[in-house]
Structure 1
Amino acid sequence: MNYFAQVSGENLQLARAELDALVKLCPFNIEITWLGRVAKLQAASNPTEFLLDRAALVKRAGILMGEFSHEESIIEGIIDDSWKDNVLPSDRFSVRTICIESEYNQKERVKIEKELGAHIQSITGAKVELRSPNSNILVIILAGRFLVCKSIESKLRHLLREREPGKKPFFHPSMMNSILARTMCNLAGVRPGNTVLDPFCGGGGILCEAAYIGALVIGIDKNWRLLEGARRNLSAINSKYSVIQADALHLPVQTVDHIVTDPPYGRSSSTRGTESRELLDSLLRKAPSILQSSGENLCVCASSDMGLSEMIRDAGFRIGHEIKMIVHSGLVREIVTVNL
């Protein structure tokens, strides 16, 4: 079967990396073909629910019913039985079009929506409902091709916006936003039941997203106020957690499954007298003895001027993903997964 996922366009490299990492977590094989911001997925089982439950940067996903190079082929290109399987007589459905990296005039888009809607209605007996449909047919218009999909919108992205740092019981300016925190957990391959360590946890932004996935989380920080804030945030979501006031240079942890972290940098974070590079270098050298298995189980986000990639290579490790993210004119973040 063929499926699709449309990712966010803010940082395409990061969105693709997240989806690639999640595909590896599926219990069945998935082949990906990228068409800009759209991934075509070929799999024996439907990965849509899993991807929408986990991915921070997937906007929508679903069944890819047909792919055509000409608009005229859309109506006749999908057999009646396929429509009957995907749109039930009791359904209220909508048809809409979106253009991605292509130009298509509004009049032609409306024509496609009306003609395809009437065609589906004549085959299935379902009613067209534009305001509150329970079945969404989406025509994605790319350069030189049309993808006809049964699409489901991401609910997680709304939930992540509701979980932003400023809406948590405790807030600190250094806390990572929920979308990036979830993305980093996905890049590290976090699964429900895994143990996740953040040795620079601050207010617990990363730990909260790992906990929402279903992981057991451990947070370490020298700053008691931030650590107490992390405890408040984790308690609010009824997660299984431990928070420990300790020095990241001397981690009081034996083994974990994943390390996901955002080391201190910038004006609003404090290293308490220890250089950020020293803290990060210490973590990299201790990680192999702490992590229970090999693979891309370590994901770090740091300021690009810290030289994270160079430090990783100097420590003798391979880089999995290496992604730059411009936050503002004075800060570029570097997100890296480490292959231990």
Structure 2
Amino acid sequence: MFVATVWFVLAVGSERQHGSNDGYDDDLAAHYRWDSTVPQHANLAVGDVIALWDKRKLLGISVIERIDTDHAVKTTYFHGSCGKADFKPLKTGELKWWCNKCRTRFAQPEPRTRDVVTYCLHHGRAWQSLSGRLTGDQVRRLCDKPRSQHSMRPARWEKVQAALEVAGARLPAMVTAKAKFVIRGGHRQTTVEVRQGQDAFRRQLLTEQGENCAFSGPTPAAALEAAHLYSFAESGEHHEFGGLMMRRDLHRLFDLGHIAVHPDTGLLDVGKEVRDYPLYGQLHGKTIHIPLQPQHRVWLGAHWDQHRARP
């Protein structure tokens, strides 16, 4: 088994001092925004652990459940004399800005525009508030490059987990750690494409969930399949708490979106296309048979957003 990267992302809100752009509309417990001008902008992925901080302290931790991308025109600002964007506002005097490059005051920054890719990640379902559990200095020391000035900084999960446990944040540390464990898998090329790690993934789910279909209840093991709650073909990884045991026919209907699970209530939603069949219609509105972990809800929420939460 191995553990992926944790991302410390900076969320300073209205207290930001750097005036070179207009900032981002963030909601700490729900979503985080950035664009293609930010270093590391394309490296975050669904399923990654993120930890938000504001330079002075850790704010909270979660798991990325979805990343939306778009395009926009962004306005940035610079000091007209030197062309640099390294400046901050001052509290007194007629010249209200200070350029760190020129070491001079100036009246007003000048604007310029550019086309950017925008990103908005959603992380509300697994959000754990940890305000003040770690200081800003502790966060910096945990980053792979402690002296980095970037707003997105990678770190090793085992170091972050240990620091959170020392700080007394045991439950959030356990929850987010399990979101990152994977069984080594992927595809190897033979005459056909074969999934590696699938047998181990199925054994793990049988051990955790027993001979039970998550949707219909007790079922012989021979009729059960290990169903991924996300696209294994895209990730090539078997995430812990990223699967449920399902009867073969229900697995197929789940993959097609004909059956979904509400991530908050755990109730089954059987689509109209198959609800008239008594075998499946009787499942509509029933509670899932497996106790859901926070990571299950993240993956089921992404599936729900894809197949149910359409405009």
**Higher RCO by CA contacts (8 Å cutoff, separation 6 or greater):** 2
TM-score normalised by L of structure 2: 0.28
TM-score normalised by L of structure 1: 0.26
